[in-house]
Amino acid sequence: MVDIIKGQTPSPYLEASPRCPATRGIDEGKDAVGYRLVGARKLRELLQPRHKYFEWAQGYLEGFSVYEDSSRRLCYPRVKIPSGSRLNPYRKTQLRSKHSATSIKKLLALKDRRGMEDFKVAVVILTYPRKISEWLSGQKGDVGMAWRMFNRFWSEDFSQLESDSSGQGAYVNLHKWKTEEPVSPHYHFHCLIPNYRLVEGAGPEDEDGEKSSAFQKKAWSGPGDLAVPFRPEVLDALKKAWYKRLYAFAARHKLTRFLPDSWQGINVWVEYVSWNDEIGRMKLMNKLNYQSRHWVEDYAAYSNVWQGCADPPPWLASYNNNARVFGWWRHLKSLTEGVCMEEKEKLSPFTGAPMTYKGLMTFDGLMKVSDGQVGTLEFEKGKPILGMMTVDDLAWLRSVMLQL
């Protein structure tokens, strides 16, 4: 699909999401509610899932942590799991959001320290055909097999796509499930790849006359906001390289009959986001959160609708979606030594800047200071959506407060 925005020429980048270029943010004049509950829809969906699988993993609210972001006061639920179960989906959501925020803090610190003015990220999704995904789900060493294949692709193929492809960094997750139907296997990799690479010998000389490494911006194709990660011929080369890896894997396991006849039949998706505007910052945080999520979050949403569905199959139930990092991203901690990681410091979902912590608030306290008018803030593919809690929403919220 070619993206066309009124007043602009069509993007030459066929793989770009139609949501990636300019998207308007919030109209500040309409954001007059004093307090907004962040992620109210997901809270209601995941705190107390209805499927029997979550019988001993029900969550309750202890109150709300309140943060000030410009003129807004954002409320974040504080959750308690009386049973101590680690399977509560909403708790999983909170944990990965916390982890993602830490990664974003380090990434921003690196950006500021190294003068990465035009910071952008390519989002690359590499998929396995359905039948090969199904075969993998039946193998004891499925995760190891998939990652070994990706490791070879990254070190031997991706780094050789162009003359300036080496020295890149990546944050990668392996998903084994379909978002809409988690009980069905769908193996695919989500990759975040910034447009800066670390080049050996490109920095200033040290006392011994040895040149240090330095970050250099990797050229993207196209002018200004229309610049994209890969030229059409390079994007084709990327797909061909992934197909070659798939074919070698399938040949080893006698699965070539499940492959399309050519590289043009495989699914490799590419999007891109920029940190240079508010909507881009929201999208990048959303991308990191999205690919880091635990499968149990999607299973809870699915089983709420299909309450008679089977429990998670063994290939899924035993899986932890742990990210792996490549290239310079592996050294992000040492590259950003000294970055403040205060426990209560939370980044604004709009700008990525630290917010001011205002303290804890009970449900009754929230009702009092807001006169019962509590707003909501959701994000749909990185786009902020404002709403209001209804009488029914507030009644539900009260019903899940922990009774001491």
**What whole-number distance in Å separates Cα of residue 201 and Cα of residue 203?**
6
Give the angle subtended at the CA of 255 by the CAs of 253 and 258, to the nearest 5°: 160
Instruction: Kindly state the average pLDDT of the residues 243-249.
Output: 97
Where do we find the tokens 């306290």? 365
Among the listed residues 41, 17, 9, the one whose alpha carbon sits nearest the alpha carbon of residue 378: 41
pLDDT band at 343 (very low <50, low <70, confident <90, very high): low
Domain annotation covers residue 28: no
Strands 170-177 and 185-194: antiparallel
pLDDT of residue 200: 83
Q: How far apart are CA 128 and CA 132, in angstroms?
A: 6
Rounded to whole angstroms, the Cα distance separating 106 from 100 reads 10
Closest by alpha carbon to 44, among 374, 349, 402, 396? Answer: 396
Q: Give the pLDDT confidence of 8-18 residue by residue, as tens digits.
A: 333 333 333 33
Query: Residue with structure tokens 């994209």?
Result: 228
CA–CA distance, 39 with 374 (Å, rounded to integer): 13
Query: Phi and psi for 368 in degrees, rounded to 5?
Result: -70, -50
Q: Is residue 116 part of a domain?
A: yes
| 95-113 confidence digits (pLDDT tens) | 999 999 889 889 988 998 8
Q: Tell me if 107 is assigned to some domain.
A: yes
Task: Give the residue numbers spanning the domain of 360.
Answer: 36-399
pLDDT per residue over 250-261, tens digit each? 999 999 999 999
DSSP-assigned beta bridge partners for residue 270: 124
Write down the pLDDT at residue 341: 62
Q: For strands 72-80 and 35-38, give the pairing.
A: parallel
- For the ranges 81-95, 232-246, 341-355, the lowest mean pLDDT is seen at 341-355
Neighbours of 334 (CB within 10 A): 7
pLDDT of residue 337: 80
In a domain, 13, yes or no: no
- Measured distance between the N- and C-terminal CA atoms of the chain, rounded to whole angstroms: 55
With bands split at pLDDT 50, 70 and 90, how would you rate the model's confidence at 138?
very high
Is the per-residue pLDDT at 180 higher than 90?
Answer: yes
How would you list the strands of the sheet with 268-274, edge to edge?
A: 268-274, 120-127, 185-194, 170-177, 324-326
In a domain, 95, yes or no: yes
Q: What is the pLDDT of residue 13?
A: 36
- Asked, for residue 18, whether it belongs to a domain, the answer is no
Look at residue 27 in the predicted model and tell me its pLDDT.
44
Residue 66, φ and ψ in degrees, nearest 5: -110, 130
Q: Which amino acid is at 100?
A: S
Helices (H), 28-166: 40-46, 89-113, 130-137, 142-152
d(CA 115, CA 18): 29
In a domain, 260, yes or no: yes
Instruction: Mark out the alpha helices in 22-74 (DSSP H runs).
Output: 40-46
Q: Choose among 364, 310, 328, 315: nearest CA to 168.
A: 328
Listed in sequence order, the residues at least 6 apart from 305 whose beta carbon sits closer than 8 Å to its beta carbon are none
Is pLDDT above 60 for 179? yes
Q: What is the pLDDT of residue 206?
A: 62
Query: Which of 378-392 are b and which e, b meaning 16 or more Cβ less than 10 Å from the residue's Cβ?
Result: bbeebbbeeeebeee
**Total structural domains within the chain:** 1
Crossing angle of the two packed helices 232-252 and 142-152, in degrees rounded to 10: 140
